Each structure stands twice: as structure tokens, then as C-alpha cells.
Chains A and B, each alone.
Chain A
Amino acid sequence: MIKINSVSKKFRMNKTSGSFLNFLSDFKFKKENFLALKNINFELKEGEILGVIGKNGSGKSTLLKIMSGILKPTLGDVHIDGQVVYVSGFYHGMNKNLSMRDNIYIIGTLNNLSKEEINQSIKEIIDFSEIQDFLDVPLYQFSSGMITRLALTTNLFTLPKSPEILILDEALGGGLDDHFRDKALNKINEYIKSAKITIIASHNLNYLLNQCSKILWIDNGEAKDIGEPKKIIQSYSEFLK
């Protein structure tokens, strides 16, 4: 079960981030703050799939990062029963001077896997990515699409097999061809089926309509609406026009 109770998140706005003069001025002037989330409340029970929609910068990722423990809320409480797995569509940590094989070990390590656990998954990762011919080629010789494939595959196959709470933050990213996108979506759907609760932030409204049991619409950090997917997606589509 997940219970989000009056969660707000404030960030300090670093317009000319961290300069020494700014540091000195902190003693004289008030800091500029940005309220990324304002009083968010909702509950999710086992079996529910929540879709989170909103424009860029509306606060979706901030909410998901708070739920996954990457960020702490400024106000309010987050109660989560179970192990949280956060999958983001932005892949960092890969070293372009190293081979695909080495990068699988790096991403696996960053995803909290031991060497033995990575050894168990490596064959699946290589086969799924369909770029096995480049296993020992440094990443700087890869195209951006190949890097996205590798990153997504490694991230997907280094997740716990049955996550209790799965959080997908624009997990597919961009730059994938249709064939691989469908294949990756099928794999993600397998994870969604095995998870107790799933939260998906995405701009793909059709996907959310088919997958989710509930939609949360966030605008300017506020929960504009939460409830039945069809109704909320319709209102959101009209709002975007």
C-alpha cells in the first residue's frame, strides 16, 4: 500500500548557482524558492496501476523521485509498504571508452546488483538487445539508438524479477525503432503484471489509457485531478489544446 499525505516539495532556485557572491548574499537576502509540488494526497492499494500525466516541468518526476526515496519531501509523509524499484528513461553512468560488456557491469552495479547476479543476467541482456556483435566494441563507436537499446535492456534485466512497487518514469526514453520499442514495452508489461503496485509517468496517453486503473493529473505542482483514466485523459487532452 502507498499513502501520500500532504506532500510538498520546495527547491531553492539557483539562478546563478552557487557563486561566492550569492553565498555571501544569503546572509542578507531571502533565498528564492520554487514549489515543485503542492499538497499532494492519494492512496494506492495492491493491484492498482497509477498513471501520472502533466506537462513538462509540472512535477511528475519530482513526485516519483520522492516516492522512490531519491528526494525527500519538504512537507508531508510518504508511507510505502514494500520494496520500490525506480526506472527512469534517462540513462546515465555509462562510460563511452568501455565496451558494451563492461557497461553492462557498470549499470548493473549502479542498479545494486552483485557481480554474480550480473553474470546470471548478461546472456539475456546481450540476446535481448540484439547488438551482440558489438559486445567488445567501445561505446563511442555505437550509434545513439544502440546506446539507448543497451541502456534500456541493461536497466530492464537488472531489475528485481518481481518488484513489489514499480515506478516507471518515462521509462522508454526516445530514439528507439518501432520493433525494439514494442519488444521493450512487452518486457515492461511483464514487470507491471508481476508488481503489486505500479506508477507510470508518461506522455503516451494511449498507453496509459490501456494500462492504468487510475490517473493523476499534475499541473504546476498541484494535483489537478485523480480518478478514472478515460475522463481525466479526455480533460487533459482538451486542456492541452
Chain B
Amino acid sequence: MKNILKKSMTLSFYEMKARNQSTYLGFFWYFLEPLIMFTILFYVKRNIVNYEIENFIPYLFIGVIMVHFFIVATTEIMSAVVRNYEILNSKKIEPEVFIYSIFFTALKRHIFEALLVSIILMFFGYYYGFLYIFIVPFYALFVLGVGQILCVLSTKIFDATYLWRYLCQILWFILPIYYLADMQNFIFKYNPIYYFINLGRKLAFDLTSVSFKLFLICFLISIAFYFISRFIFNNQKYLITERIK
């Protein structure tokens, strides 16, 4: 595992280098997409939706960067094996290397986004926005788990990749990113991402309402998703290369 992680980190470094090379803004391009989404949703909420949401700026920022990370990471991890099938078919290399390298790239981008958001929140008087970073390890493990399951699925059914892209678009509307959630509604109650967003927000601007129960739920969801996905992936590992041949 140590060897896989080392290789993944190296490949992730060169992937980022290739993306940033020849651009003037480099890393800042990553922040542009969530920033545009933030601006659109901020405008929609202020001008179209009537009710008030307390601490709306950090509420929206945390929601946007968390959903953005989920969509980017899962979509890219999903195609990790298919995109690298030629290497997998010509070298003895663990397919996990490509999954983790894409995951690390997405994670680095997300941490960068989170740091920028923390600085912006400080400017608006939310000095503890950086505490959001404490939820990132659990949330990242959950995202990796979902990505690994999707990766196996995409080698079995190619249509899954297209289907996932559509589902990701729906996510922007079925998660309480720019509106308030009613916990009794089943859309939120059975959506694991909601619990992470909820905890992320509480850490960033409502620290006194953070409960141990919510921490435990997030921890258990991330562990469960990661280990179930490892089990599925390990069972399908050798079939993956042959399926996409």
C-alpha cells in the first residue's frame, strides 16, 4: 500500500504540473468553477428566493466547494482505469495507482479551494472558517469510496459514466446548497453527502452546535464507504483490465 501511495503521489504531482504548465493563473483556475457557481447561486438566492438564511455567505461557500469536490473527484476517479487501460495492459502496475493519483489531485485542489474560502470568510468576519479543514479527511475517504465503486461499475457498464454526469447535475439541486434543509425530508435524510455538508458548515461558522453524534455519523459513513469499495474493487481487480481490453 505504501508503494502504491508513493507512486500515486508522484503521478499526481506530474498531472498537476502538466495542467498548470503554460497557464498564467495556474492553481487559481481550479477555484474559478466553484467561484462562478457561488456567484450564480448567491444572485439567485438574493434576488429570487424570498426567505433569509443566517450566515448565508459561509453557508453557500461550504456547500459549493464540498459538492464541487464530490463531483470532480468521483467523475474523474470513475474513468481512472478506462483512461489508463493501455498502461494497465502493458505494465505490471496496480490499477489503484491511477485511482489514488486522480484522488490526490482532486484532494489537493479541494484543500486549495478550502484555504481560499477560509481567507474570504475571514474578510467577512468569519474567523473560524478554516476549521472546515477538519472534516476534509473523513469527507475525502467517503468521496474516494464512492469513486472506487463507480470505477468498477464503469468498466462493467460504460453507460454508467454518462448516467453519473447527469446525476451530478441533479446533485446541485437536491442538496441544500443555497436553501435550508428539512431533515425529515427523505431526500436529505438518506443522502450521506448532506451529513458531511452539515458538519462542514457547523465547523466553519456554528461551532457551538457541533454534536458528537454528527461526527460519529460522518466517521461511520466514510469508513463504511471506503471499506465496502475496497472489497468490491479487490474482488474485481483482475477482471477490470480484461473487461476494458
Residues of A within 8 A of B (CB): 11-12, 14, 17-20, 23, 65, 68-72, 84, 86, 88, 90, 92-93, 95, 97-98, 102, 105-106, 109-112, 114-115, 138
Contact = CB atoms under 8 A, between A and B. Distances in A.
Contacts of B213: none
9 contacts: A18-B159, A69-B92, A86-B91, A86-B92, A92-B86, A95-B18, A110-B93, A114-B6, A138-B21
Interface size class, chain B: 20 to 34
Nearest to B11: A109
Interface centre among B17, B22, B242 (most CB of A within 10 A): B242
Interface in B120-172: 155-159
A106 B14 contact: yes
B241 interface: yes
A90 B90 contact: yes
A97 B90 contact: no
Contacts of A11: 242, 245
A105 B13 CA distance: 11
A84 B91 CA distance: 11
Contacts, number: 82
Contact of A70 (B7, B17, B241): B241
A12 B21 CA distance: 41
B163 to A, nearest CB: 9
Interface string B81-112: 00010111111110000000000000000000
B78 to A, nearest CB: 14
A199 to B, nearest CB: 15
A18 B86 contact: no
Contact of B159 (A19, A86, A138): A19
A168 to B, nearest CB: 13
Contacts of B92: 68-70, 84, 86
Nearest to A92: B86
Tell me if B's interface is mostly helix, strand, loop or mixed.
helix
Contacts of A18: 155-159, 243
A93 B15 CA distance: 11
B215 to A, nearest CB: 37
A200 to B, nearest CB: 16
Contact of B14 (A12, A86, A95): A95
B238 interface: yes
Contacts of A112: 3, 7, 93
A102 B158 CA distance: 32
Contact of B87 (A23, A72, A92, A105): A92
B157 A105 contact: no
A105 B86 contact: no
Contacts of A115: 10
Given A18-B243, A102-B14, 15 more contacts: A12-B242, A18-B155, A19-B157, A69-B92, A70-B92, A71-B242, A90-B86, A92-B87, A93-B87, A98-B18, A106-B14, A112-B3, A112-B7, A115-B10, A138-B21
A105 B90 contact: no
Nearest to A90: B90
Nearest to B20: A97
Contacts of B84: 92-93
Contact of A111 (B11, B91, B245): B91
Contacts of A98: 14, 17-18, 21
A105 B14 contact: yes
A97 B21 contact: yes
B158 A17 contact: yes
B11 to A, nearest CB: 6
B219 to A, nearest CB: 33
A12 B242 CA distance: 8
A8 B159 CA distance: 31
